Chains A and B, each alone.
Chain A
Amino acid sequence: MGTSTALVSFAFDYYLMVVIAAAGTLQIASVLADIRGLLLFRNTVVGYSFGISLVLFGYLLFFATAERNVNDTLGGLDGNVQFVLFLLGAITATLLTFVVSSVLNRRMYEVSNVTDGLETLRRTTYLKAVLVRLRSIRS
């Protein structure tokens, strides 16, 4: 396998780990901050355990599937690439959580005031809050 092919494969594995682990981290943070609109499980213990499991699964998928002690000149990732991939992975995980939690929590109450950022997601889902925001912009 050439160095560039190895780099792409390595970068994809890293990105995948970040997406999975960040999705888990977001579940843990949502339980701790009581952001119910982002939770995938109503039971907080289940939500917390699911979050930890996702983080561990992400790590396992990355570290247990190949040798990861690789120099960045031979297919590993340098700090700058890691930073960009982490950012992309975290954004992907956030967007995925917004969509999935909105579908799973579709019966949550629709609020009329969505001016206070993430605080709004304690009471409603992301997609419902966005719809309310769009309606208020139109009117």
Chain B
Amino acid sequence: MRELDEALFLWINGWVGKFTPMDEVMKLIASDYLVPVTLALILFALWFAGTDLGTRERYQIGIVVAVFAVALANSSIEVLNNFYFRDRPFLNHEAELLFYRPTDSSFPSNSAAAAFAITGSVGLFHRRLAIVIVSLAALYAFSRVYVGVHYPLDVLGGAVFGLVAVPIAAVVVGVMRPVLLLSLRWMRLMLVA
């Protein structure tokens, strides 16, 4: 499995330098800011976007699920990395690096976990939008392999962490629902929800 993962990494990362515009696009997509900010802006838009009170409330609760899911996925990864550490691919292979040199564990990918936690959460309340977001998350995950900072299994593992966090976050938010509804009611009085 590990050999296959490394071979796949070398194949994908081997495209670097063959078509410079593609390298620049991948560098931009793999950035720590472009896709995360875009996903956060989508959640921000959903806060306002419902066409009626009921839909908007459903979206707003979904946004809280997304925030919880991201926090849960990333803290689980932090705990896991106290016991398991995988070197970044550029440390053990002749990789073409288009990114800075991260020092934390390669497996699982935090970025992929966050992106897929948001995707999964949006999927709970807006299926059509989730299809768009999943493409963005997948492209983000792929770009991290392309630029040389992750193995394919790292981003796959991150995606699993993110997606598994969603139902757990949904249950937690479900338990907190009365408090959440009260907060939303208060925010509606302030005309911000």
By a CB distance below 8 angstroms, the chain A residues around B32 are 68-69, 72, 76-77, 82
8 Å CB interface, A50-75 against B: 55, 59, 62-63, 68-74
Q: How far is the CB of A95 from chain B (nearest CB, A)?
A: 10
Chain A contact surface mostly: helix
Residues in chain B near residue A115, CB distance under 8 A: 188-189
Q: What are 28 A-B contacts defined by CB distance under 8 Å? A: A21-B41, A26-B44, A26-B45, A29-B49, A33-B50, A33-B56, A59-B34, A62-B33, A63-B31, A68-B33, A69-B30, A69-B31, A69-B100, A71-B102, A71-B103, A77-B33, A79-B74, A82-B32, A116-B53, A117-B191, A117-B192, A118-B191, A118-B193, A119-B52, A121-B191, A130-B191, A133-B189, A133-B191
Residues of B within 8 A of A38 (CB): 48
Are B48 and A30 in touch, CB under 8 angstroms?
Answer: yes
Taken together as a complex, chains A and B put the C-alpha atoms of A108 and B49 apart, in Å, by 21
Contact for B41 among A55, A73, A74, CB less than 8 A: A55
A117 close to B44 (CB less than 8 A): no
Interface size bracket, A side:
35 or more
- Interface residues in B, total, Cβ within 8 A: 37
In the bound assembly, the distance between CA atoms of A28 and B49 in angstroms comes to 9
Evaluate whether A118 and B41 lie within 8 angstroms (CB atoms) in the complex, with A32-B49, A94-B192 already known.
Answer: no
Q: What 1/0 flags go to A9-45 for Cβ under 8 Å of B?
A: 0000010011001100110111011110010000000
